Chains A and B, each alone.
Chain A
Amino acid sequence: AQKITQTQPGMFVQEKEAVTLDCTYDTSDQSYGLFWYKQPSSGEMIFLIYQGSYDEQNATEGRYSLNFQKARKSANLVISASQLGDSAMYFCAMTVHSGGGADGLTFGKGTHLIIQP
């Protein structure tokens, strides 16, 4: 079974600074996908960025980038120029293929990010 570890329960960051949220994963599958979701206080999960296990380049989506280090099984999220609206819970997640069909996303416990003015 796969596992996601997020070691930062909470972070305080000054507005406009860059933020790195840590995520490590464990799986024996060779084919997998890594995701980051944002959950603001409203509760809805918002997709941010995706990285495939065979992708050679790090994924980027606007201010979000994913620092993918496959050998270390690490998939850290980097938010550049943080904004007050970035304050939320952030979840790292993965999905794998095992014998056909997609398993449900496995989520980490999340990091509560607070951006301070």
Chain B
Amino acid sequence: GAGVSQSPSNKVTEKGKDVELRCDPISGHTALYWYRQSLGQGLEFLIYFQGNSAPDKSGLPSDRFSAERTGGSVSTLTIQRTQQEDSAVYLCASSPHGTATNEKLFFGSGTQLSVL
């Protein structure tokens, strides 16, 4: 596709359930990022992929959060045993290489996660 695609756009789940959020980056982009944006807050870095490997997982808030990327393309962010504080917009972004400070990120429209 022409841009970064995320699905679903909205997800409502019950506390304790597992959820999977999907990101389809721009074709050919090797770098992929996940961010979390809570209401009225800035973006919180979660994880960065370079190809299929994740050299930086430092932002994952707990071991309930995990992410994988297969084939150097699609990525899935999984949240296990969701809690109400996990409610937020989860944004995915990609960039061509991810190794230069001048490389801008292209963002998807996000997944709005609501945990009841």
Chain A residues proximal to chain B, CB less than 8 Å = 4, 6, 31-33, 35, 37, 42-47, 50, 52-53, 91, 93, 95-97, 100-110
Given A45-B105, A47-B105, A105-B45, 7 extra CB contacts under 8 A:
A42-B109, A50-B102, A52-B101, A52-B102, A102-B99, A104-B33, A104-B35
Residue B25 at the A interface, CB < 8 A? Answer: no
| Contact segment of B13-21, B48-56, B61-69, B75-83 | B48-56
Q: Which residue of A lies closest to B95 (CB)?
A: A102
Q: Which residue of B lies closest to A47 (CB)?
A: B104
Q: 24 interchain pairs (CB within 8 A)?
A: A32-B101, A33-B103, A37-B107, A43-B89, A44-B107, A44-B110, A47-B105, A47-B106, A50-B104, A52-B101, A52-B102, A100-B99, A102-B98, A102-B100, A102-B101, A103-B45, A103-B48, A105-B33, A105-B43, A106-B45, A107-B42, A109-B42, A110-B41, A110-B42
Inter-chain contacts of B93 with A (CB < 8 A): 45
Chain B, interface size category, equals 20 to 34
CB < 8 Å neighbour of A102 from B31, B59, B89: B31
Query: What's the minimum C-beta distance from A38 to chain B, rounded to whole angstroms?
Result: 11
Inter-chain contacts of A102 with B (CB < 8 A): 31, 48, 98-101, 103
